[in-house]
Amino acid sequence: MNATNRIRRGLTLTELLIVISIIVLVTGVMVPLVQPLLKGQDTREAARITNVFFASAQARATQLGRPVGVWLERAAHEPDAPNPGEWYAAYKMYLAEQPEPYAGDTFDARVFFLQDLMSAGGSRPPQYTVVADPGTCDSALNLVQPGDFIQFNFRGERFLITSVSMAGVTNQGKQVAFTFRYLPKHRATLLKYLNQDRAYANLKAAGFNPQVAGQPFQIFRVPQKTSSTPTELPSKVAIDLSLSGIGDSALALRGNPVNPFDFAGTSGFEPITPEHDVVIMFSPNGGLDKIYYVGHEQGIPTHVRLFRGAEEEFPPMSNAPLVASSVRVVGPVSLMVGRAAKVGYSAGDSPTVQTGSNALGEGNLLDLSNLWITISDQSGKVTSAPNLGAPTGVNVAGMAAGDWFNVIGYARSLTKSSEPMGGR
């Protein structure tokens, strides 16, 4: 076989250089097209994780027949944190459950109404104290805390407990007292219980032994973190609590960021002091039940938000750091899933802290690769939607806090008209 009949194998150097040039050219064209998709990939994954976690909490509430929700833990709780932006960042989500109602340590534990009702009036709702039978509620000193709700005769109104204390010790055991708040409209019901218990006390003092004494009760306790492992968002992504909140009304968004305990009219999470985590609870019917602002160390809520259909209704108590208060709110909950490095930073990458005269959260609101998670207050449906940012032509640099709240409300409202992204 001569050389001319041999089969040539491989490429010449010229052909190889041509192939490499084509590959480089195609890569150069494709990289700009792929980069936008890769840029938001971690944010989309974080939104998917958040979406699934909230949906699982909703399903768990339906399964158990009592409230279950999501505990958003702030990255930092100390007022002197080196990076104040961490106050508004949540990287971890815990499953939170409301424990079984507490009805005493014995089968027929009861409480007694023996005091006179306080006269109506004043800037705050009056309080009342009921005392349990000795030895029937000893464990309440460890289980019950301010922020829980007490209900009598297993029906009707639930009253907000403000303190749990030991009223005394007898031969039968400890005597536990529960103090709770009530509104003027509840006076008739409480007077009925008071008259019943006083009649019993009078009969007993006269030597009789009436069969019915006191009022049966049950206490609905505040949510607790479960023992399950928390879910963490991908690296460099966080839920930005400075932009997250309830509803999109500009009026509703005007809180008092100077006084963190003045909750009247505010629907953002940012005015709450940094030592408080945010706990969003679903009711067994699938809708939103309450939002608790719980002290990270003590586990005691200082504020409770109620949603439409909730039974309790208490006005806010300003400047009351250790007493829970409840505000009825209407509207979906919106959570901003954004860049961890931009939480607490302005559009110019300058660190900012919420005050009465400056804005907070510019960095993430203006990043259009971020996403909103929206939870319907009525159905509990969880959806993801793109962040469309501030209104066109609006300069947010140096904007006052009041105007900035309007911009946040506008951005949240756009999630209603944008196409939901599901769990992607």
Please report the domains of the chain, with CATH numbers, ordered by start residue. Answer: 41-98+224-417 (3.55.40.10), 110-219 (2.40.30)
How far is C-alpha 52 from the geometric centre of its chain's CA atoms? 17
Alpha-carbon distance of 376 to 333, in angstroms, equals: 7
Query: CB of 319 within 8 A of CB of 259?
Result: yes
Can you tell me whether residue 338 is helix, strand or coil? strand
Bridge partner residues of 53 (DSSP): none
Residue 130 C-beta-side C-alpha neighbours within 13 Å: 29
pLDDT one digit per residue (tens) for the chain, 424 residues? 555 556 666 678 887 888 888 888 888 777 777 666 666 788 999 999 999 999 999 999 999 999 999 999 988 777 666 676 788 889 999 999 999 999 999 988 999 998 887 654 444 678 889 999 888 898 999 999 888 889 998 888 888 888 899 988 877 788 899 999 887 788 888 888 888 888 877 766 666 665 667 899 999 998 999 999 999 999 899 999 888 888 765 433 333 333 333 333 345 665 556 678 889 999 999 999 888 888 776 666 666 666 654 444 444 443 344 344 445 556 789 999 999 988 877 655 555 554 444 456 788 888 888 999 999 988 999 999 999 888 877 777 666 666 777 788 888 888 876 655 554 4
* Predicted pLDDT of residue 420: 58
CB-based burial label for 260 (10 Å; 0-12, 13-18, 19+): buried
Between CA 66 and CA 72, with CA 67 as vertex, the angle to 5 degrees is 155
| Closest to 274 (Cα-Cα) out of 332, 218, 353 | 353
Bridge partner residues of 294 (DSSP): 277, 301
Structure tokens at 156: 């009707």
How many C-beta atoms lie closer than 10 Å to residue 193's C-beta?
A: 18
* Predicted pLDDT of residue 371: 93
Alpha-carbon distance of 147 to 322, in angstroms, equals: 9
Bridge partner residues of 385 (DSSP): 372
